[in-house]
Amino acid sequence: MSGAKVTSVIRVTTLSLLCFAVTVSSPVAQSRPGDTLDIYVIDVEGGEATLFVAPSGESMLVDTGWPGFDGRDADRIAAVAEQAGVTQIDYLVVTHFHTDHMGGTEQLANRLPVVHFIDHGITIDQGDRARAAFEVYSNLRSNGTHRVVRPGDPVPVTGLDVRIIASDGSVLNSPLAGAGDANPFCEGFTFHGADITSRFGDAEDQRSVSAFIGFGRFRTLIMGDLTWNKEHALMCPDNKIGTADLYLVSHHGSDTSGSEALVHGLQPRVAVMNNGPRKGGAVQTFQILQAAPSLEQLWQNHYAIPAGDEYNMPERFIANLQDEAPTQDTPAVHMEAAHGIKVSARRDGSFTVTNSRNGFSRSYGPRN
């Protein structure tokens, strides 16, 4: 998984907001019900927004990106939803109450109806801005159906097996069906100390709602910003999740998540990192992924500037490229590129991954 030098700056117009599904959608994805679980890893500039569309047509959106920027992230989510044939968000899972994960909810709700709100309850952040942002979200969820979830709870998306595996600082007590074997990658696990937790302010991160999603033989999971130490409780000494075909890389690829115990224990065949140019994409994360014995491919939403050419994947696997570092005048969050990664999974465990920027795709057969 060697890197490749990126030599061009991506310049796009506002029409790029629609390019995700125009480039990668197929007639099957447009007409529901269908035969695939479609997963859209949406570019929200280092925030989080991932849309799951079941064959039944039901939708589950995990997080809503940033607030502000004239509704940029809500527009991007709504454009992808439209092209996927989604007219409402049936289940909105807010992993935790940081603004890069829940901040876009109000703007999104002005564009698409949200039926069910799912989260871990109440923020523990006490800063004025954090509390004000949470109040906006709390008022929104009071207008819909709100559910606080705990590990082991299902999310009833028709045709999918969605199970909560972590929430509000707790993780599964009992393994998922077929899981529970000893995890050999727990040996030598090193806990992150107080210097790491204080540096990254992970009080909310460690309370992230994390979910397993099964579709026939296909298995994936989305972790929010669940922290390194909480991964130990989930994966050690026994692996409570089992294997995953697709690993949606935790915490934007930050080095406070994504331990060997999690990543190698899951035995993923493919990973997709929803990072920003300078958000996530840590060198340590690339190293752990590249050392995973099972991993066939890593795909990225952005070229990770801190990781450099040594670690970034070749450009065909990266949805958004840039060779100019963000500055105070042109921060990364103002970039207009809105390309993403789409995964279409089938019941037999096979799946196809597509980069909307260039149309490049690769298919992966069922796990042996």
DSSP letter for each residue of 127-186? SHHHHHHHHHHHHHHTTSEEEE--TT-EE--TT-EEEEEEETTEE-SSPPTT---B-GGG
| Average pLDDT rounded to a whole number, residues 27-37 | 59
> Minimal CA–CA distance to 340: which of 321, 360, 358, 319?
319
pLDDT at residue 195 above 70? no
Going 130 to 154 to 166 to 265, the CA torsion angle's sign is negative
Long-range pairs of 152-159 with CB within 8 A, sequence gap ≥ 24:
155/60, 155/91, 155/93, 155/118, 155/211, 157/52, 157/54, 157/56, 157/58, 157/60, 157/90, 157/91, 158/54, 158/56, 158/58, 159/37, 159/54, 159/55, 159/56, 159/58, 159/215
Q: What is the pLDDT of residue 32?
A: 53
pLDDT at residue 141 above 50? yes
- CATH numbers and ranges of domains, the chain: 14-364 (3.60.15.10)
| Average pLDDT rounded to a whole number, residues 153-161 | 97
At 75, give phi and psi (nearest 5°): -60, -40
- Scan for tokens 């109000």, then name that residue: 106
d(CA 6, CA 4): 6
Alpha carbon distances (Å) from 120 to 49, 207, 288: 17, 7, 29
Residue 227 — very low, low, confident or very high, per pLDDT cuts 50/70/90?
very high
| Average pLDDT rounded to a whole number, residues 323-349 | 70
Q: How many helices (H) and strands (E) does the chain have?
A: 11, 18
Q: What is the pLDDT of residue 29?
A: 34
- Share the mean pLDDT of the chain: 87
pLDDT at residue 2 above 90? no
- pLDDT tens-place string over residues 167-184: 999 999 999 999 999 999
Higher-confidence position of 8 and 220? 220
Residue 192 — very low, low, confident or very high, per pLDDT cuts 50/70/90?
confident
d(CA 299, CA 356): 12
| Average pLDDT rounded to a whole number, residues 138-167 | 97
| Average pLDDT rounded to a whole number, residues 91-116 | 96
d(CA 335, CA 350): 34
Q: What is the pLDDT of residue 336?
A: 54
| Average pLDDT rounded to a whole number, residues 250-276 | 97
Higher-confidence position of 10 and 362? 362
Alpha carbon distances (Å) from 115 to 61, 97, 284: 11, 19, 39
Q: pTM of the prediction?
A: 0.88
Q: What is the pLDDT of residue 201?
A: 47
Q: What is the pLDDT of residue 194?
A: 55
Q: How far is CA 95 from the centre of its chain?
A: 10
Residue 205 — very low, low, confident or very high, per pLDDT cuts 50/70/90?
very high
pLDDT at residue 354 above 90? yes
Q: What is the pLDDT of residue 1?
A: 52
> Minimal CA–CA distance to 276: which of 194, 203, 335, 350?
335
Q: What is the pLDDT of residue 127?
A: 85
Q: What is the pLDDT of residue 39?
A: 98
- Scan for tokens 């997709």, then name that residue: 272
Residue 311 burial (CB < 10 Å; 0-12/13-18/19+)? buried
